[in-house]
């Protein structure tokens, strides 16, 4: 199956590091969120697209693995890759790489499901999402 990816440069801010100059673990979900927004803009699967079609897409799984520390003033690149699935969910893998030597700093995965506007879990792919999968040949 075809894989879709997007990338975004991150800037580590002072407010994101601890007293050891290392990025606080709570910042990683925000970096992943930035990557999901970049992916949505590039491929037409943003939160407002999902919402305007009558759905929410809450996170139900989020994991990350630290490989090397992210430090203040680094400008690493985050890459997000869509993982095709037949299920009614959106799965992404993430890699954060050091701009200097391209080494992997962290990896992660997220899973989102669909809920209707009454907050009920949707078991089948919404029509707009099936159409999106067909458009990008990720069925």
Against a cut of 0.85, is the pTM above it? yes
Residue 76, pLDDT above cutoff 70: yes
Q: What percent of the chain has pLDDT over 70?
A: 99
Question: For 112-129, how does the pLDDT look when each residue is reduced to its tens digit (9 = 90+)?
Answer: 999 999 999 999 999 999
pLDDT of residue 1: 63
CB 71 within 8 A of CB 21: yes
């Amino acid at each position: 199956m075809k894989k879709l990816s997007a990338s975004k440069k991150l800037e580590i801010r002072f407010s994101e590091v601890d007293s050891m100059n290392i990025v606080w673990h709570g910042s990683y979900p925000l970096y992943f969120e930035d990557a999901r927004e970049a992916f949505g803009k590039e491929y037409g699967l943003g939160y407002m697209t999902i919402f305007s079609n009558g759905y929410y897409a809450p996170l139900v799984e989020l994991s990350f693995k630290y490989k090397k520390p992210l430090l203040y003033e680094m400008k690493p690149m985050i890459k997000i890759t869509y993982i095709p699935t037949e299920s009614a969910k959106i799965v992404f893998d993430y890699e954060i790489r050091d701009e200097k030597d391209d080494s992997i700093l962290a990896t992660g995965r997220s899973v989102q499901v669909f809920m209707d506007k009454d907050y009920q879990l949707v078991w089948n792919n919404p029509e707009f999402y099936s159409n999106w999968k067909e458009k990008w040949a990720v069925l």
